[in-house]
Amino acid sequence: MGSAAGPTGPATPQGDRSADTDQSPGAALPGLAAASRGGEPTSSADAKPSAPAAPANPVAASPAESAGPGADEPAGPAADGPDAPAADAAAGPAAAAPADSQLALDGLAAELAPESLGALAAEPPAISAEQRREEAFNAAWRFIARRERTEAEVRARLERNDVEAALVEEVLDELRTGGYVDDAGYAQRFAEDRRNLDGWGADRIERRLRELGVDRRHIAAALAAGDHDELAAATALLARRYPVPPEQPRDREKALGFLVRKGFDLELAHDALRRHAASAVEG
């Protein structure tokens, strides 16, 4: 049968004894340390407080503790340390130089730039209807001041100047009323000048007036005006160009081509060539 425990205090476990022995026997058990030196054991109440024991396993210490007191502090000089003003003073001129240069460039750009960049991109102010009307009339006056124009020519010029259709008609009405644009009179004068000055025939005159936008009625009236003899005009033109009537087929073809290019009908050109040959024989 096992023996009962004595009246003394509880026995210290072997594991706890080894752990305490590893640290400091005198610190962990001050009463026992004193008894071993021959003194009286002291109670824990009479013993002076000792520093807390270190952890039993040093490996389990936190990284912050093992890294030392400066592990959590940022690298580089402290912002509030005694050396901070000196460091700032040393870096001041180098850091301020780019900022000063940028400010100088900004000031120069402000002096050279216009007062408002938005003013350049803004649309031009709208002009009034009266101003548009005046500009349209001025453009028409300048156009017809150089030489006589047809109604179609004036219309085309105003449309190229982006004049509104209603305003174009207003300008043309004003010019027709004043006699500054007259297609009928223009066709008559044009036909007379081209016949007398250039020796044009009816076909060429009609073709050119149609290119200028003159109405067919005005063209027909201009060609029929006066006592113009188309055959006599072609014969006289041929006699000036060929004083001796051409006899060879090749020369006759050249004479016919000359009259056709002048604007005479091909059949009328043949008649003029025969009349020219007959007049030479009679003469």
Structure confidence by residue, pLDDT tens digits, 231-272: 999 999 999 999 999 999 999 999 999 999 999 999 999 999
Per-residue pLDDT, 111: 61
Please report the pLDDT score of residue 168 as a whole number. 96
pLDDT, residue 128, reads 85
Q: For domain 129-177, which architecture applies? A: Orthogonal Bundle (1.10)
How far is 4 from 216, CA to CA, in rounded Å? 150
Q: What is the pLDDT of residue 272?
A: 95
Per-residue pLDDT at 37 exceeds 60: no
> Once rounded to an integer, what is the mean pLDDT over residues 87-102?
56
Give me the CATH code for the 182-228 domain, please: 1.10.10
Quote helix, strand, coil % in the chain, to nearest 5: 65, 0, 35
Q: Is the pLDDT of residue 45 over 80?
A: no
Say whether pLDDT at 188 is over 70: yes
d(CA 38, CA 164): 129
Mean per-residue pLDDT of the chain: 73
- Give every CB contact of residue 245 below 8 A, 6+ residues apart in sequence: 273, 276, 277, 280
The rounded distance, in Å, linking the Cα atoms of 9 and 28 is: 17
User: By the 8 A CB rule, do 234 and 201 touch?
Assistant: yes
Give the residue, 39 or 182, on which the prediction is more confident.
182
Distance CA 29, CA 283 (A): 169
Q: What is the mean predicted confidence (pLDDT) over 59-77?
A: 44
Provide the pLDDT for residue 92: 52
In terms of pTM, does the model score above 0.75? no
Higher pLDDT, 84 or 144: 144
Residue 279 has pLDDT above 90, yes or no: no
pLDDT for 35:
40
- pLDDT tens digits for 96-121? 556 667 777 676 666 655 555 555 55
| Residue 7 pLDDT level (bands cut at 50, 70, 90) | very low
pLDDT higher than 50, residue 155: yes
Contact predicate 235/272, CB 8 Å: yes
Compute the residue count for the chain: 283
What pLDDT does 184 receive? 96
Tokens found for residue 58 = 């040093």
Asked if residues 129 and 170 have their Cβ atoms less than 8 Å apart, the reply is no
* Range with the poorest average pLDDT among 18-22, 137-141, 232-236: 18-22
Q: How high is the pLDDT of residue 226?
A: 81
Is a pLDDT exceeding 50 seen at residue 82? no
Q: What confidence score (pLDDT) does residue 254 get?
A: 95
Which pLDDT value is given to residue 280?
A: 80
| H or E element in which residue 35 lies | helix 30-36
Contact 208, 270 (CB under 8 A): no
